[in-house]
Amino acid sequence: MEIRIATRKSELALWQAKHVAGLLDELPEVSKVTLVPLSTRGDQILDKSLQKIGGKGLFIKELEVAMQAGEADIAVHSMKDVPAAMPAGFCIAAFLERASPADALVSATACGLSALPEGAVIGSSSLRRQAQLLALRPDVAVKPLRGNVTTRLGKLDDGDYQAIVLASAGLQRLGLESRISEEFGPQQMLPAAAQGVIGIECDQTRHDLRDLLAPLGHAETRMTTLAERAVALTLNANCQSPVASLAAITEGILTIDALVASTDGRRILRERSTGPSSEAESIGTQVAQRLLDQGAGELLGEAQS
């Protein structure tokens, strides 16, 4: 079987696609693997917020169109970029074992958040990161920053910002972990749903592909990802919503922490739920409902206004 992988053209996306290609090359059923690099609207429009141009789904739409047109068989994604509600006809056939879910501060002087000067300018277009940064350091200024990892680091090095926040997993995958000044713990900054997870998407009716890809999946990562994505789905959170979640499994018990924040970081609602990992999605739904009971809907409405 020949497999064509649709992927974005960024350095990190290509790393992820090549990683999946390497796994597929080891399967006896696979005779050839090729990459189909595509440019997405999310990559092309960098001067506007994702919320204004249609959300993170813009990073995957062209890849799905390529699959529908028969130009690609699968697509490889950072799962944090995949909307919680999958489009009809598609599925995630495998969730690869998760890398670090943490967020990382990269500062111009290699210092941590607490050592940044008063009023420091920190780059991030994520309201989730903005809210939690301001909760930790109300004096800093969080300014928009979009583009791929290399572009963002370049803007930091050019002096546009005194620090920026990126996903640790992306820096590690590109061999840039030495740029990390501080890795945030979940009590400091709870990550985005499925941060650090690579997902392989395919047509829901392609049972041959689904059977082929299933062994590449990691069972624990699948359950934690389903729980975290259920939070976003229940809260009707979009790409820019100040929503975070992180699940972990210990001896068959899944624990999930989730939060919703005001964009200025002055109000943070946080809840935790636990239960059997086999009930991952319902546990995620439960913790989201607790947040709604606390008033999360009001905070989310303010963030979108």
Note whether 16 and 173 are within 8 A (CB): yes
Note whether 232 and 243 are within 8 A (CB): yes
Homologous superfamily of domain range 2-98+197-217: Periplasmic binding protein-like II (3.40.190.10)
Task: Report d(CA 13, CA 9) in Å as an integer.
Answer: 6
Catalytic residues: 81
Task: Report d(CA 210, CA 212) in Å as an integer.
Answer: 5
Residue type, 64: E
Instruction: Per-residue pLDDT tens, the chain, 305 aa: give them.
Output: 999 999 999 999 999 999 999 999 999 999 999 999 998 765 554 445 445 544 455 668 899 999 999 999 999 999 998 999 888 999 999 999 999 999 999 999 999 999 999 999 999 999 999 999 999 999 999 999 989 999 999 999 999 999 999 999 999 999 999 999 999 999 999 999 999 999 999 999 999 999 999 999 999 999 999 999 999 999 998 767 899 999 999 999 999 999 999 999 999 999 999 999 999 999 999 999 999 999 999 999 988 87
Write down the residue that tokens 């399967």 correspond to. Answer: 27
Q: Which residues in the chain are classed under CATH 3.40.190.10?
A: 2-98+197-217, 103-183
Q: Say yes or no: domain 103-183 is CATH 3.30.420.270.
A: no
Q: Say yes or no: domain 229-304 is CATH 3.30.160.40.
A: yes
User: 83-139, pLDDT tens digit by residue?
Assistant: 998 889 999 999 999 999 999 999 999 999 999 999 999 999 999 999 999 999 999
Q: Is the pTM of this model over 0.75?
A: yes
DSSP state at residue 54: T
- Name residues whose C-beta falls within 8 Å of residue 70's C-beta, 6 or more positions apart in sequence: none
Report the percentage of the chain scoring pLDDT > 70. 93
- Name residues whose C-beta falls within 8 Å of residue 113's C-beta, 6 or more positions apart in sequence: 105, 133, 136, 137, 163, 182, 184
Q: Which residues in the chain are classed under CATH 3.30.160.40?
A: 229-304
